Structure 1
Amino acid sequence: MEKKAEPLKNIEARIHELENSIHERERQLKERAGQFKKELQAELSPTELIRKYPLQTTGASLLFGFFSGKIIRAIVSHPSHASAEPAAQSKNEPSELKSAVASIGIDVLRSSKDLAFSYLKHYLDSKMKPGKDT
């Protein structure tokens, strides 16, 4: 009877070892995944991208501002052909929606321009004054 119990204890011990091994691997994987997530967030953070590629991000923000301005201007300046406007409303008077979109577009363009120039100024200042590291 004791001989039958001995292999059973070995199997139970082996199962216990495997469970411990699985839990240890799981903990290691979670730890590595957390570390990878932190590294990825640090690598892809906007401030880190701007520090690494200041001219490219400035150019990208200027292009974004240019194209968004073109799109907003196209939406605001061309009336919809599908809707029939009443004769009482004059053609020179823009609708409330178009005025709101135009205002938002102008604010977005100004903000992106200001942001692009401030980053460019900061980059050029840091290149001109190497002792200053802000």
Structure 2
Amino acid sequence: MTHFFCPNCWHEIPEGQDECPECHVSITERWDKKDFVDKLIAALKHPEPTTPIRAAMILGKLKDTRAISHLIFIAQTAHDIFIILAAVRALREFESPVAHNFLMTLKNHPASLIRNEINEYAHSIDT
């Protein structure tokens, strides 16, 4: 079964509905004004967990600096370790002091998966 979500508040909505019953935004109007990167940034907050992971991966490949602060926010606030890992891996793609400095703050992250990723990143920039 296909599920549809408001791209503003991520409330589940019926297929084809243009106004979200939860936040009352015009979905077509809001979505049509966004470019691809903006849509990927919005997808970082999607409730279905594989969507933010895919969005982070693509944002890392695109290296559009508009995504950096959003990826950092996701890495700081997500509860799913795999979403955090996807954000960290995407941030590794950026040659940005902001991304680098944030990644270095994760050296002592409670999850070994994240610590290992940061150790690998630190090693890759040292060589």
Structure whose residues are more often helix by fraction: 1
Q: Which has the higher contact order (CA 8 A, sep 6+)?
A: 1
TM bin, normalised by shorter chain, reads under 0.3
What TM-score does the superposition give when structure 2 sets the normalisation length? 0.24
What TM-score does the superposition give when structure 1 sets the normalisation length? 0.23
